[in-house]
Chains A and B, each alone.
Chain A
Amino acid sequence: MTAMSETIFHTKDLTKVYRSGAQEVHALRGVDFQAVRGEFIVILGPSGSGKSTFLNIVGGLDTATAGEAWFEDHQLTALDERGLTQYRRDHVGFVFQFYNLVPSLTARENVALVTEIARRPMSPEDALALVSLTERRDHFPAQLSGGEQQRVAIARAIAKNPEVLLCDEPTGALDSATGIKVLEALTQVNRTIGATTLVITHNAAIREIADRVLRFADGRIVEETVNATKKSPAEVSW
């Protein structure tokens, strides 16, 4: 577990077909993918190209139609509902476009929600400190701005010390200045806890802060770019 280039994820010919009635939608058409521990990967691609579907399958939220997806030595595509839940609970942190905070819990409580069921969590206070929200910890979601809510969501996602952090358009609902703050929080977290991070975004500028950039089109990975030198979010011109 010490090797820097250890593979944490890989998928083989991952395929997803949605069937609604007679219609078939091929969301993924055979995706082969690998990620190493600690990597920061940005996923780009047009709407409908299968990015979310891919992220949901490697995150254990959805199941594949064919092919394999592996996390370490767990074959995700062979797990049942219970196994997937356990996988999400123990290893994965999620951040979504719409934050999905529990409105009846304060920022701190939203984070504690996860730390209470995690195996080796950090304290909710530490998690909030990582996203610079210590002062707002006793506010309810309705009392926070969009960017603050998203940072709470990130704190919630990382508080369990996950091996992977999956973010689906985390800045999609935010203005760009706020978006930077959120991305800063993500890279900060990626560096601090070493979680392998996959970020889906429409914002092409973000690629410069990544280790690697994948481009999806029509259910496949069509382009892969490795960044030799990645920039910090503050250096990027959005």
Chain B
Amino acid sequence: MVISPLRLKVLRDLRRLWAQVLAIALVLAAGVATLILGNGAYSSLYETRARYYDDYRFADVFADVTRAPRALLGDIREIDNVLAAEARIVKLALLDMPAMAEPGTMFLVSLPEEGDRGLNLLHLRQGRLPDQQSTREVVVSEGFAAAHRLRPGAPLTVLMNGQRHNLLVTGIALSPEFIYALGPGEMMPDPRRFGIAWLPRPALEAAFDLDGAFSNVVLKLAPGASVDRTIEALDRLTAPYGGAGAVARKDQISHAFLDAELKQLSAMVKVLPPIFLLVAAMLVNITLSRLITLEREQIGLLKAIGYSSRAIAQHYVEFVLAIAALGIVIGISAGVWLGVGLAQLYARFFSFPFLIFTRDPQIYGLAAAVTVAAAVAGALLAVRVAVALPPAVAMSPPAPADYRARMGAFRRLFALRQTRVMVTRHLFRWPLRTASGTFGVAMAVAILVASLWSFGSINHMIDVTFTRAERHDALVAFGAPEPARALFAARQMPGVLAAEPFRAVAVRISHRALSRKLSIMGKPETPILSRVLAPDLRPMAMPEEGLILSEALADALDARPGDLVTVEFLEGTRRTVTLPVSGLSLGYVGLGAAMEITALNRAMGEGALISGVALQIDKTGQEAFYAAAKTTPKTGFVAVTALTVARFKETLAENITVMITVYVGLAAIIAVGVVYNFSRIALSEQGRELASLRVLGFTRGEVSGILFGELATVVLLAQPFGWLVGYVIAFGMVEAFSSDLYRVPFVIGPEVYVTASLVVCAAALASAWAIRGRINRLDMVEVLKTRE
């Protein structure tokens, strides 16, 4: 096979310029990798979840009731579009593990009874399902089993309704209902302190006194059915039995958290890959432009001997395509490698029976196509110049760079040294390239600002929540509302220093046509342990009558202080009342509404009831408190603040290193790619001048200083621009991510900007260092012999 001379030149150019080629290819590769990672993870999660839901008959509608007769199920099945309905018993129990002093919660669910025709079917990982008649046998969730090293045959003790039950684990399973298993009062899944247990219905009926009754119903709807209308019909049927209002799948906790993750991934795909591809296109452009300038004479010669413009354009495009190909190969490998890593990370948070990183060829094909397009787009502008060169012009050397005095005032102002003047004039001489370089470096800074801010915000959120608002050490929620005297009983518990009551009532709040379902929290007039904060972080006193809405809820309802809202109580008397909005509060997680506890009880038309207590605990009495809280029959669950916060921070710390490594790596790739190419081009243009300066007696350091001064100017100019772009991206992310589930505070401390800049400057320094050798080797004698 004979390789044509032009193709041979492509290969030689690639080898000669390997470092620049590699730097550009890496930026392209980062684009490919983030595209594959984002799209791949999205489709993996999305497809896996869809298939899991399908195969295991995940329900579309979920409703809790206090106690409804099983006969009601027949009516529910009659509702239009209901394909299947299953009545269940769903309750909380307390864990009693010998090896675990701190409180833990078990979520009890009755087993699907109709075999494969039931809903929310289990995926059995080990052992077998319990015998339907057994009152002891239980299947537990896989995460919980792993955290406690339980295997089929292991004993398990739980407290149901205050009574100790010794159970036997027969199997370990997963369920589409608990892909993301978040315990009550928790902020992060903790499989040690929260597990799911599936028991035969009779066992639960007996334990919770629910013979012939159910406490939860799930529905599967016909495809395309109106969920809202079904929920309305279902709520009408369950209302007499304490129905607290059904929720659609989109509001089901596990599902909603997965949705949030999917939303983040799709946001990442919209932000990161375009940045990389844009920067890469720009690098291709400036590098190729310089190459073409250097090769003007060769191009002229080729044209003179009869090569067509097309052939010459093709030659340079081939050079760029080779770079793109390299970028695609590296990017795909990195993307798949990171994808597998991400899938493993997901496996820690999300319990799927299977999670395979996508092999969808479309995703890889798209990444490759977009990358080639970016590289070629960058090349076209540069190649156009080569194509336009008439052969005669091409063969005479370019006119000397024409500088004009354009900065007289600027210079006088700063009394610049001549070497600085050189730097400044050179930067001004090629404004587009200077702008490109600045833009590229700014993008590296922006990527870091846009990713690093979230850690500070999360810390701020934790800090505000747990040192200013929720200042209790523990929270005990009762299984059912208790008379006010339960507060005094709580104060008597060992280790308790102070107790503050709260009342939580499920409601639907409506304003105009908007409505939301949530719990109103009743609190003392001046809460101390569990406070509500105003947006300026000051604690708020509970108003005598009105409601305080969290900002997120106020937005969702389009309600402002002074407006009247309709409150429909979904428990107890089930009254509907109209209440004024008295103020707005800060709230990061979920939707919130608060009012004074006696006003709440009055509005409900009930006596002085409380749903639980917030407690201050003496550190030394902690163990005794744990033991007592477990055995009190009233206890529904216990949340311990220190454990919640510790788990949250632990989870964050596990991810933070990975995340920071990835983002710092990505930013460094951009910074190195831009700075290295920029300096190589600057050196190629000014090598002659710099060698002349060496002749005049300038030291290596002084000469490097000129080139580095140019780089430093670009890098420094880029910083504020990068901060700004990063800020805008971060702000966009906050807006995109805030939902009823979360409202992330937008806090960017100076340390975020400082860290971003330091990382980028370090990367820039490293790449500047890489060309130092070239500056030192500048050949003084050679430059004297030749004319440029």
Min CB distance A145 to B, Å, is 12
What residues of B have a CB within 8 angstroms of the CB of A187 in the complex?
A: none
What residues of A have a CB within 8 angstroms of the CB of B785 in the complex?
A: 52
Q: Which of A86-126 contact B (CB under 8 A)?
A: 86-90, 92, 94, 96-98, 100-106, 109-110, 112-114, 116-117
Instruction: Tell me if A89 and B698 are in contact (CB < 8 A).
Output: yes
Tell me, yes or no, whether A168 is within 8 Å of chain B by CB: yes
Instruction: For B690, give the chain A residue with the smallest CB separation.
Output: A102
Knowing A98-B786, A100-B783 are in contact, say whether A105-B425 is a contact too (CB < 8 A): yes
B401 touches which of A52, A112, A142, A168 (Cβ 8 Å): A142
B425 touches which of A98, A104, A112 (Cβ 8 Å): A104
Tell me, yes or no, whether B399 is within 8 Å of chain A by CB: yes
Instruction: Tell me if B403 and A156 are in contact (CB < 8 A).
Output: no
What residues of A have a CB within 8 angstroms of the CB of B696 in the complex?
A: 88-89, 94, 113-114, 156
Tell me, yes or no, whether A141 is within 8 Å of chain B by CB: yes
Interface residues on B, range: 35 or more
Min CB distance A230 to B, Å, is 27
What residues of B have a CB within 8 angstroms of the CB of A116 in the complex?
A: 417-418
Instruction: Tell me if B697 and A89 are in contact (CB < 8 A).
Output: yes
Instruction: Tell me if B421 and A109 are in contact (CB < 8 A).
Output: yes
What residues of B have a CB within 8 angstroms of the CB of A105 in the complex?
A: 418, 421-422, 425
What residues of A have a CB within 8 angstroms of the CB of B417 in the complex?
A: 116
A102 to B784 Cα, complex, angstroms? 13
Min CB distance B713 to A, Å, is 14
Tell me, yes or no, whether A218 is within 8 Å of chain B by CB: no
Instruction: For A81, give the chain B residue with the smallest CB separation.
Output: B700
Q: Which of B647-704 contact A (CB under 8 A)?
A: 688-689, 692-700, 702
Instruction: For A141, give the chain B residue with the smallest CB separation.
Output: B400
A84 to B429 Cα, complex, angstroms? 33
A104 touches which of B401, B697, B786, B787 (Cβ 8 Å): B401
What residues of A have a CB within 8 angstroms of the CB of B1 in the complex?
A: none
A47 to B692 Cα, complex, angstroms? 23
Min CB distance A13 to B, Å, is 22
Instruction: Tell me if B700 and A85 are in contact (CB < 8 A).
Output: yes
B405 touches which of A94, A106, A156 (Cβ 8 Å): A106
Min CB distance A60 to B, Å, is 9
A86 to B697 Cα, complex, angstroms? 6
Instruction: Tell me if A104 and B426 are in contact (CB < 8 A).
Output: yes
Q: Which of A87, A90, A100, A104 counts the most chain B CB atoms within 10 A?
A: A104
A116 to B689 Cα, complex, angstroms? 17
Instruction: For B776, give the chain A residue with the smallest CB separation.
Output: A81
A117 to B417 Cα, complex, angstroms? 10
Min CB distance B341 to A, Å, is 48
A92 to B417 Cα, complex, angstroms? 22
A172 to B690 Cα, complex, angstroms? 23
Q: Which of B731-788 contact A (CB under 8 A)?
A: 780-781, 783-788
Instruction: Tell me if B402 and A140 are in contact (CB < 8 A).
Output: yes
A117 to B419 Cα, complex, angstroms? 11
A11 to B587 Cα, complex, angstroms? 86
Min CB distance B698 to A, Å, is 7
Instruction: Tell me if A142 and B403 are in contact (CB < 8 A).
Output: yes
Tell me, yes or no, whether A56 is within 8 Å of chain B by CB: yes
Min CB distance B203 to A, Å, is 87
B421 touches which of A81, A86, A92, A104 (Cβ 8 Å): A104
Instruction: Tell me if B419 and A103 are in contact (CB < 8 A).
Output: no
Bitwise interface map of A from 211 to 234 toward B, beta carbon under 8 Å scored 1, else 0: 000000000000000000000000
A89 to B403 Cα, complex, angstroms? 27
Knowing A105-B422, A142-B400 are in contact, say whether A85-B781 is a contact too (CB < 8 A): no
Q: Which of B379-413 contact A (CB under 8 A)?
A: 399-405
What residues of B have a CB within 8 angstroms of the CB of A142 in the complex?
A: 399-403
What residues of A have a CB within 8 angstroms of the CB of B401 in the complex?
A: 103-104, 142
Q: Which of A45-100 contact B (CB under 8 A)?
A: 52, 56, 61-62, 81-82, 85-90, 92, 94, 96-98, 100
A117 to B418 Cα, complex, angstroms? 10
What residues of A have a CB within 8 angstroms of the CB of B780 in the complex?
A: 61-62
Instruction: Tell me if A96 and B697 are in contact (CB < 8 A).
Output: no
Instruction: Tell me if B400 and A103 are in contact (CB < 8 A).
Output: yes
Knowing A100-B784, A102-B422, A112-B418 are in contact, say whether A117-B405 is a contact too (CB < 8 A): no
Bitwise interface map of B from 191 to 211 toward A, beta carbon under 8 Å scored 1, else 0: 000000000000000000000
What residues of A have a CB within 8 angstroms of the CB of B422 in the complex?
A: 102, 104-105
Instruction: For A93, give the chain B residue with the smallest CB separation.
Output: B696
Min CB distance A139 to B, Å, is 9
What residues of A have a CB within 8 angstroms of the CB of B419 in the complex?
A: 113
Instruction: Tell me if A92 and B697 are in contact (CB < 8 A).
Output: yes
Tell me, yes or no, whether A138 is within 8 Å of chain B by CB: yes
Instruction: For B697, give the chain A residue with the smallest CB separation.
Output: A89
Min CB distance A48 to B, Å, is 12
Min CB distance A141 to B, Å, is 7
What residues of B have a CB within 8 angstroms of the CB of A61 in the complex?
A: 695, 780-781, 784
Min CB distance A109 to B, Å, is 5
Min CB distance B784 to A, Å, is 5
Min CB distance B380 to A, Å, is 29
Instruction: Tell me if A103 and B689 are in contact (CB < 8 A).
Output: yes
What residues of A have a CB within 8 angstroms of the CB of B786 in the complex?
A: 98
What residues of B have a CB within 8 angstroms of the CB of A106 in the complex?
A: 405
Q: Which of B417-448 contact A (CB under 8 A)?
A: 417-419, 421-422, 425-426, 429
What residues of B have a CB within 8 angstroms of the CB of A81 in the complex?
A: 700
Q: Which of A130-160 contact B (CB under 8 A)?
A: 138, 140-142, 156
A43 to B788 Cα, complex, angstroms? 26
Q: Which of B400, B692, B694, B697 counts the most chain A CB atoms within 10 A?
A: B697
Min CB distance B703 to A, Å, is 10
Min CB distance A101 to B, Å, is 8
Bitwise interface map of A from 165 to 188 toward B, beta carbon under 8 Å scored 1, else 0: 000100001000000000000000
Instruction: Tell me if B787 and A103 are in contact (CB < 8 A).
Output: no
Instruction: Tell me if B784 and A109 are in contact (CB < 8 A).
Output: no
Instruction: Tell me if B405 and A138 are in contact (CB < 8 A).
Output: yes
Knowing A56-B781, A104-B429, A140-B402 are in contact, say whether A117-B698 is a contact too (CB < 8 A): yes
What residues of A have a CB within 8 angstroms of the CB of B418 in the complex?
A: 105, 109-110, 112-113, 116
A97 to B696 Cα, complex, angstroms? 15
Instruction: Tell me if A100 and B697 are in contact (CB < 8 A).
Output: no
Knowing A104-B422, A105-B418 are in contact, say whether A117-B697 is a contact too (CB < 8 A): yes
Min CB distance B702 to A, Å, is 8
Instruction: Tell me if A62 and B429 are in contact (CB < 8 A).
Output: no
Instruction: For B788, give the chain A residue with the smallest CB separation.
Output: A98
A225 to B699 Cα, complex, angstroms? 38
A92 to B700 Cα, complex, angstroms? 17
A96 to B692 Cα, complex, angstroms? 10
- Show 25 residue pairs from A and B whose CB-CB distance is below 8 angstroms, ordered by the A residue: A52-B785, A61-B784, A62-B781, A87-B697, A88-B697, A89-B698, A89-B699, A94-B695, A94-B696, A96-B784, A97-B784, A103-B401, A104-B401, A104-B421, A104-B426, A109-B418, A109-B421, A112-B418, A113-B418, A116-B418, A117-B698, A140-B403, A140-B405, A142-B403, A156-B696
Excluding A140-B405, A142-B399, 13 further A-B contacts by CB distance (< 8 Å) are A52-B784, A62-B780, A81-B700, A85-B694, A87-B697, A88-B697, A96-B784, A102-B692, A104-B421, A105-B425, A110-B418, A114-B697, A142-B402
Where the two chains meet, the residues of A that have a C-beta atom closer than 8 Å to any C-beta of B are 52, 56, 61-62, 81-82, 85-90, 92, 94, 96-98, 100-106, 109-110, 112-114, 116-117, 138, 140-142, 156, 168, 173
Where the two chains meet, the residues of B that have a C-beta atom closer than 8 Å to any C-beta of A are 399-405, 417-419, 421-422, 425-426, 429, 688-689, 692-700, 702, 780-781, 783-788
Give me the 10 closest cross-chain CB pairs, A-B, nearest first. A89-B697, A104-B425, A88-B697, A100-B692, A113-B418, A142-B402, A142-B400, A103-B401, A140-B403, A104-B403
